[in-house]
Structure formats: structure tokens, C-alpha cells
Amino acid sequence: MKLKGIRVPHKKHTAQMPPVRIPVPKTVTIPMAMHIGRPAKPIVKRGDEVKVGQLIAEADGYISAPVHSSVSGKVQKIDEMMTAMGAKVACVVIETDGLQTVSETVAPPDVHDLKSFIDAVRQSGSVGLGGAGFPTFVKFSFNNDEKAVDTVVINAAECEPYITSDTRTLLDRTDDVFSGIALLKKYLNVKRYIIGIEGNKPEAIAKAQAVASQTEGVEVHVLPPMYPQGGEKVLVYNTTGRLIPQGGLPLDVHVVVLNVTTLAFIAKYVETGMPLVEKCLTVDGSAVKEPKNVIAPIGASIADVLESAGGFKSEPAKVLYGGPMMGIAVPDLTAPILKNTNAIIAMDEREAQPPKTTACINCGACLTHCPLRLDPRAIAKAYKKGEAEDLKTLCVDLCMECGCCSYVCPAKRHLVQTNKLAKAVLRNYQAQQKAKEGAK
């Protein structure tokens, strides 16, 4: 049995398009928080000359990631800015010189054992490129003498509509992907590797299978062409048959999940020493004139990227970081490309208009389509009444916010949005319970 989900229009218009590099923008704005964890601490100041690949901010604490300059030029300012996620964060703004001079510090790292490998991954600034942006090296920091991990699942599901950047990684950078696997084999002492690809990418599947058949320990797993196959819980279950427990991590079922582009990047970094300074992303959506895949320096504005895709067919009414199912709407086009941005989707007025919400008709579509078998209808009722105990019974904390429920709802109710709020209610309630118990 496989965990399913919903059929969404794939809209993979750009699957056949190898990425093209965009022209060097005039300025880049590089936020210090492009990962989960503490923001990085800037080590450059106004007026400093910087080069491509130069460290401009250090990781702050364990769960954090360093940040490097994606361009050569001069630091114009370091400023607090509001991100699309709604948090204020320091950003390094660099005026480019257009030369893209590579920093002298860029040199292949010395990798000879597990420790030096993890160190290198840490220095590379690598974060989960599939979306969440979790610092990659943390995932490798387990003790495998105790058989903590026996399988690495490589996430190439790419289940969001429009996005094809991971597909391009598999097609254009197949060698990087497999040298990445070779590195993990060598240093992590894990024998089994599963590449999970959604069935709607026959070319990528064929290419991966061809190489995998000659590589020991690598399997290609074709997933049903349904959203959200790339969701961690769904992916791990559908590839290994193991269910990540409530509130747990893949590590709890002896699995590490790695996005395919992250893996390709790590291989490239070990080979060249060029840190994470640019990103392949899909530019598409109903308002985009020439949908395509591009490679953009991190910190380039969305406007720069959209311009390279021929600008607009019609006035964009909504622009997203990421795909239409889980993407985040940006306030304006000056927002920068982040490490974990895998697509920019610009929607025209018609595509962007949120549908009208009507009364729940109790059809049950939300609960039959939830991949994790939650009951969003009951959760919404419990949330409205403020019943935290009910929310606990309904396991709202399990919700991965994939949005299947909202997508299928004929009344267009804000179900996943309510789930998010309900999760916060439950968290508060559980914190209070804990505090009460502590007081006893």
C-alpha cells in the first residue's frame, strides 16, 4: 500500500529546458536567515570588497549555516529587512562589479574521513534545497556504529505543480548526483540508497535507472504521480515502508532524507570548493512570458529573475516563492532569491484570485484525501470551539500543511490554514500543561 494524496495539474512546462544563467544583477540582497535555526552573523561591513564564494556571515550556534557572497563587488549596506516569511532579518546588500571574480578562498576542501566530510558540508553553507532549508550537515551527524541509519532516501519527487528544477538536476547533473552518493557511501557508512521520483518524469527516471543499475546499493523508486509524494513522511513510507512516528524525524526509522539537488551540490562542493552561492530555479506561472529554468545568484531580486524570463505576459497579481501548493506569496518583487528557493511562480489576476469560501457541505473530501488520514473538518470544529483536548485526539500536530484538504474542498474552506492555527493552539496548550506539571 502507498500513501496517496491528490491529483493536481502538473504544469511541468519547463521540464525540457536546461537552466540558463541570468545576467549579473546590479545589486544582490543576501539575507542572513535562509535556513532553519539561528540567523548567520555578518562578518563584512559597509564598503568591504567581496568576491564570489567569499564568506560574508558565520554560522551562529550549532543549528545555523554560514552565508557566502554570490557576486563580486562592494558591500553597500547591511540592513534589517522584512522577509516574505514575516520576520525582520539582517541582509547584506552588495553592489556588483559585473566581473564575478572568484575568491581566493575557494578551494576544494580536504575531505578524508567522516568528521572532515561533515565539516566540509557545514562550511559549504548547504541547507535543504527542497524547501525547508534545514542545515544539511546536521542530518549527517549521527553515530552509525550503532546502526542509526541504514537507508538514505534521495528526494526527487518534485510533486509541486510547475517546478522542474530537481528534474533538471537529475537530467543535467546525473554525475554529481551519483558522485554525491559515492561520497555518502564512503563516509556515512550507509549501504542503501533510494531515489524517489514521481512517475510523471519518465526521462529523469530513465536516466537515473540507467546509472543506478551500474551502481551497487542504489534503487530508483517510481512514486505515484500524486501530490504530496515529496512530503517527508509520505516519501519515506512509500519508499521504505517505514512510518515516521508522530513528532519524530526520519532518523527515528533509520532513514536520512536528502533533496537530490542538495546532494548534487555537496558533490560539486567537495570537488571545487565553491559554496552555495547560486540556485537553479523554475520561473513559470500564468503571468510569465517565457517560462524557463534559470540559474540565479542567491540574493538576486525576483524582478531580476522574472526579467530574464521575458518579463510579464500580463500584470502579475500574485508572485510565489515555490510552488502553488505550499509556496509563499511575496509582498513585492524586490524580495531576494534564497538558498532554498526552487521556483518563482507569477500568477495573473485570474489565476491569483482566491476562490469564494462557502459553507461546509460535509462532503468528506478533505478527510478522504488527507495523506495522513486527518479529519480537517473535525479539526476546524474543535478549533472554533477552542477544544485543545479534541485537537490532541485528532492529532492535528501530525499535519504537514501540504494543503490537499484546502485544494479538494468544494466549499473552498481554509482548511489547512485552520490546521496551522489549530497546531499553534495545541502547542500552547501542551506547553501550559507541561508548565503546570512542572509546578506540581
Partner 1 sequence: MSQMISAVSPHFHHPRTTRSIMLDVIIALVPAMIASVLIFGLRSLMVIADCVAVCMLSEWVFEKLCKKENTLGDLSAVVTGIILALNLPVGVPLWQAALGSVIAIVVIKQLFGGIGQNFANPAATARIILMTAFSSSLTNWAVPQPFNFMPDATTGATPLALMTKGETESLPSYLDMFLGNTGGCLGETCALALILGGVYLLIRGVITWHTPVAFLGTVAVMSLVCGQDVLAQLLSGGLMIAAFFMATDYSSSPATKWGKIIFGVGCGLITILIRFWGNFPEGVSFSLLLMNILTPYIEKLTRKKPLIGEVDN
Q: What is the C-alpha to C-alpha distance for residues 265 and 275, in angstroms, rounded to an integer?
A: 9
Q: How far is the CB of 72 from partner 1 (least distance, A)?
A: 30
Q: What is the C-alpha to C-alpha distance for residues 136 and 65, in angstroms, rounded to an integer?
A: 9
CB atoms near residue 160 (< 10 Å) = 28
Q: How far is the CB of 328 from partner 1 (least distance, A)?
A: 7
Of 166-174, 210-218, 383-391, 397-405, the window that binds partner 1 (rule: CB under 8 A) is: 397-405
- Under a CB-based contact definition with an 8 Å cutoff, are residues 372 and 400 in contact? yes
- Under a CB-based contact definition with an 8 Å cutoff, are residues 325 and 402 in contact? yes
For position 359 contacting partner 1 by CB under 8 A, the verdict is yes
Cell matching residue 360: 461546509
For position 245 contacting partner 1 by CB under 8 A, the verdict is yes
Cell matching residue 365: 473530501
Q: What is the C-alpha to C-alpha distance for residues 353 and 194, in angstroms, rounded to an integer?
A: 39
- Binding test (CB under 8 A) with partner 1, winner from 31, 273, 327, 376: 327
Angle at 346 between CA 321 and CA 196, to 5 degrees: 50
Q: How far is the CB of 51 from partner 1 (least distance, A)?
A: 33
Crossing angle between the packed helical segments 202-212 and 174-188, to the nearest 10 degrees: 50
- Binding test (CB under 8 A) with partner 1, winner from 114, 360, 425, 430: 360
Residue 283: closest CA among 7, 5, 17:
17
For position 237 contacting partner 1 by CB under 8 A, the verdict is yes
For position 300 contacting partner 1 by CB under 8 A, the verdict is no
For position 375 contacting partner 1 by CB under 8 A, the verdict is yes
- Binding test (CB under 8 A) with partner 1, winner from 276, 288, 305, 372: 372
- Binding test (CB under 8 A) with partner 1, winner from 205, 330, 343, 388: 330
Q: How far is the CB of 38 from partner 1 (least distance, A)?
A: 25
For position 85 contacting partner 1 by CB under 8 A, the verdict is no
Which lies closer to partner 1 via its Cβ, residue 68 or residue 318?
318
CB atoms near residue 219 (< 10 Å) = 16
The residues, ordered by sequence, that sit 6+ positions from 232 with a Cβ below 8 Å of its Cβ are 155, 244, 250, 257, 400
Q: How far is the CB of 112 from partner 1 (least distance, A)?
A: 42
- Under a CB-based contact definition with an 8 Å cutoff, are residues 331 and 370 in contact? no
CA distances from 65 to 62, 110, 127, 168 (A): 8, 19, 7, 25
CB-neighbour burial class of residue 216 (10 A; exposed 0-12, middle 13-18, buried 19+): exposed
Of 60-68, 172-180, 196-204, 348-356, the window that binds partner 1 (rule: CB under 8 A) is: 348-356
- Binding test (CB under 8 A) with partner 1, winner from 63, 295, 317, 425: 317
For position 130 contacting partner 1 by CB under 8 A, the verdict is no
Of 67-75, 87-95, 262-270, 325-333, the window that binds partner 1 (rule: CB under 8 A) is: 325-333
For position 184 contacting partner 1 by CB under 8 A, the verdict is no
Of 27-35, 62-70, 164-172, 351-359, the window that binds partner 1 (rule: CB under 8 A) is: 351-359
Residues that bind partner 1 (CB under 8 A): 1, 3, 6, 8-9, 161, 233, 237, 243, 245-246, 315-320, 324-333, 345, 347, 352-355, 358-364, 367-368, 371-375, 377-378, 394-395, 398, 401, 403, 406-412, 414, 416-417, 420
